[in-house]
Amino acid sequence: MDTDLIQRSPILEYDPAPNAIIEPRGPALSEATPERAVLCFFQDVLKQLLEAEQLVPIGRLSSEMGNNPVYRMDYAGQRLLVAHPGVGAALAAAFLDELIASGVKKFIACGGCGVLNRKIAVGHPVVLTAAVRDEGTSYHYLPPAREAQPSPAAVLALEQACRQAGLPYLLGKAWTTDAFYRETTARRARREAEGCLVVEMEAAAFFAVAEFRKVTFGQVVYGGDLVVPEGWDPRSWQARGDDRARIFWLAADAANLL
């Protein structure tokens, strides 16, 4: 492989300039911005909470796919902002950046993941401790490196929330990739060898944006589909409504602890 070509790759041309040509602008909210936020990937859970009148719409994030509502939730004496962050590193990072611009300072994200270790049961919580940067977005927020990390305070808050809820959990590293149709056997083996338990699409970008913008960020996922050399097994992971709701409330508890 041409090492000079690798060194000249645009993805590695990190620029630490604090300002860009287009700066993120926070969404217009109908009330004061909460300090804490839960970014929830589960549309079904958000729909249930909205129908139960536990969420109050206060604004929206927008893209060419349409509007992502932004909600306020009053929970355990705290005001939390709740939103779906979009899917994929680029969109999720942009939405995170816009929420930071609106004034949110502490974030917990909750979602699902593929698991690389078949011993991880479907539905089992995994608190992320690092993410291998196999996507593009994080390289625009941090210098080139193999991994990005969440905020230690957020990891501790998630662990405390798990213990308070009596939920067994794992601490683990994620493999963040832009291309789930290119999770080959060889690449999976390399990621597992360096300690990755799960695979997903946003964590490395989330962690990089949060570090660059100097905010607190953590993420919890639950074991979903099985990604192993013998083949892919979806394990009906998207149909696990109880697990998804449980992970959401775990994230809300952790956000309140920050």
**pLDDT per residue as tens digits for the range 145-168:** 999 999 999 999 999 999 999 999
What count of other Cβ atoms lies within 10 Å of the Cβ of residue 181?
6
pLDDT of the residue at 234: 84
Strand, coil or helix: what is 220? strand
| Structural domain 32-257, CATH architecture | 3-Layer(aba) Sandwich (3.40)
Cβ neighbour number for residue 11 with a 10 Å cutoff: 13
Q: What is the pLDDT of residue 6?
A: 58
Separation in Å, CA 249 to CA 53, 90, 105, 241: 16, 26, 19, 13
pLDDT at 3: 62
pTM of this prediction exceeds 0.75: yes
Which residues, given as ranges, of the chain have pLDDT below 50?
Answer: none
Domain ranges, ordered by start, for the chain: 32-257
Give me the pLDDT at residue 212, please. 98
Alpha-carbon distances, residue 183 vs 22, 80, 128, 150, 227 (angstroms): 33, 35, 20, 24, 8
How much is the pLDDT for 12? Answer: 87
**What does the pLDDT read at residue 224?**
87
